């Protein structure tokens, strides 16, 4: 597996690693070990809602309804451990572009709806569990995707979405049931068209995907029990993540990304135009 290109690191903020061409940012030590311990305990105090291939998930905030392709009207209230770090979240686009961690915490108001996440998926991956390569659906969620890692580090795989993904988006629609939030891009079974690479997400780090990494790349986690980290085999430990997204609504349901070939919103427009709708 290839290494990612070296990040750009601002000496004034060495905990923030950026890959500007990819729109990717990794913020180390976003939460403290004390916060992490509280979050892990809180996760296990709640009965999990869904288990997909060993991955256990809990959902908060808005839920996406696959039958109406809309947001369910009643959000699930956020647990204290999520609402307590939300004011520190670097909102997109404003705060990611400045990267100024010394800025005062972002005020959160209802008007920030287009940038503030409102859909939260907490997941536990026991050693050996992963998530297949996918593009989070363009039409459902606004640009910025956040993933907070805790419990232990895990490598996340990135690969440019190619013809394989474009073809799958154009397959006849199958049921999307099961509460997943990924575009219908199954695990790549054929050889990738572009080399993939893995980025180690340390415990307590926050990953922010925008631009190319969000719209034009697939991401996933290989279900391994051992990872190679810095040339050494490391046994994987249980890893938790909180994926945070903002559900697109009303005027914002269209997608304007630079990757129309792998954009489900554009594919739907193409299909509707072809059917004369
Ligand atoms: O666990 C993670 O960090 C990412 C999960 C993910 O990609 C997703 O839920 O769409
Ligand atoms: Fe994802």
| CATH code for the domain in which residue 77 is found | 2.60.120.590
Distance 204 CA to ligand 2 centre (A): 18
Whether residue 9 is contained in a domain is answered as: no
Distance 214 CA to ligand 2 centre (A): 9
Q: Which of 243, 245, 246, 247 to mutate to test the pocket of ligand 1 (most atoms within 8 A of CB)?
A: 243
**Nearest residue by C-alpha to atom 1 in ligand 1:** 241
Boundaries of domain holding 267 = 14-274
Say whether pLDDT at 31 is over 50: yes
Whole-number percent of the chain with pLDDT over 70: 75
**Average pLDDT score over residue span 212-237:** 94
Q: What digits encode the pLDDT tens for the residues 155-167?
A: 999 999 888 888 8
Cβ atoms of 247 and 139 within 8 Å: the answer is no
Q: Name the band, by pLDDT with cuts 50, 70 and 90, for residue 101.
A: very low
Tell me, what's the pLDDT at 92?
66
Say whether pLDDT at 53 is over 80: no
Ligand 1 contacts CB of residue 182 (under 6 A): yes
- For ligand 2, a single-atom ion, which residues have Cβ within 5 Å? 136
Q: What digits encode the pLDDT tens for the residues 102-127?
A: 443 333 333 344 468 989 999 999 99
Tell me, what's the pLDDT at 185?
46
Cβ burial of 181 (10 Å; 0-12, 13-18, 19+) is: buried
Whether residue 5 is contained in a domain is answered as: no
Q: Name the band, by pLDDT with cuts 50, 70 and 90, for residue 257.
A: confident
Ligand 1 contacts CB of residue 123 (under 6 A): yes
pTM of the model: 0.83
Whether residue 6 is contained in a domain is answered as: no
Tokens of 65: 């309804």
**Average pLDDT score over residue span 141-166:** 92
Ligand 1 contacts CB of residue 136 (under 6 A): yes
Whether residue 2 is contained in a domain is answered as: no
Whether residue 8 is contained in a domain is answered as: no
Whether residue 235 is contained in a domain is answered as: yes
Q: What digits encode the pLDDT tens for the residues 172-182?
A: 654 443 334 55
Question: Relative to the CA of 149, which ligand 1 atom is closest?
Answer: 3
Number of domains in the chain: 1
**What ipTM was predicted for this assembly?**
0.99
Question: Relative to the CA of 156, which ligand 1 atom is closest?
Answer: 3
Cβ atoms of 138 and 255 within 8 Å: the answer is yes
Tell me, what's the pLDDT at 22?
92
Residue 93, preceding peptide bond in cis (omega within 30° of 0):
yes
Whether residue 7 is contained in a domain is answered as: no
Tell me, what's the pLDDT at 269?
83
Whether residue 149 is contained in a domain is answered as: yes
Ligand 1 contacts CB of residue 165 (under 6 A): no
Question: Which among 104, 211, 138, 32 has a CA at the least distance from the CA of 95?
Answer: 104
**Out of 27-31, 59-63, 246-250, which region has the weakest mean confidence (pLDDT)?**
246-250
Cβ atoms of 147 and 243 within 8 Å: the answer is yes
């Amino acid at each position: 597996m290839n290494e990612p290109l070296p990040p750009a690191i601002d000496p004034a903020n060495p905990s923030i690693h950026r890959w500007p061409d990819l729109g990717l940012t990794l913020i180390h030590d976003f939460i403290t070990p004390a916060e992490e311990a509280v979050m892990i305990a809180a996760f296990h105090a709640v009965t999990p809602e869904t288990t997909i291939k060993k991955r256990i998930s809990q959902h908060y905030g808005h839920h996406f309804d696959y039958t109406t392709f809309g947001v369910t009207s009643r959000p699930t209230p956020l647990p204290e451990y999520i609402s307590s770090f939300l004011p520190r979240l670097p909102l997109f686009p404003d705060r990611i572009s400045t990267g100024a961690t010394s800025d005062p915490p972002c005020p959160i108001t209802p008007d920030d709806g287009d940038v503030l996440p409102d859909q939260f998926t907490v997941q536990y991956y026991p050693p050996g569990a992963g998530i297949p390569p996918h593009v989070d659906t363009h039409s459902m969620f606004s640009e910025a995707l956040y993933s907070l890692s805790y419990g232990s580090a895990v490598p996340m795989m990135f690969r440019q979405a190619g013809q394989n993904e474009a073809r799958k988006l154009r397959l006849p629609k199958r049921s999307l049931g099961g509460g997943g939030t990924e575009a219908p891009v199954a695990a790549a079974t054929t050889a990738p068209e572009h080399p993939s690479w893995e980025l180690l997400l340390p415990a307590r780090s926050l990953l922010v995907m925008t631009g190319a990494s969000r719209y034009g790349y697939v991401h996933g986690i290989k279900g391994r029990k051992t990872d190679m980290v810095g040339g050494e085999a490391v046994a994987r430990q249980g890893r938790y993540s909180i994926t945070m997204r903002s559900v697109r609504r009303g005027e914002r349901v269209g997608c304007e990304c630079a990757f129309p070939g792998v954009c489900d919103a554009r594919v739907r427009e193409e299909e509707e135009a072809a059917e004369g709708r």
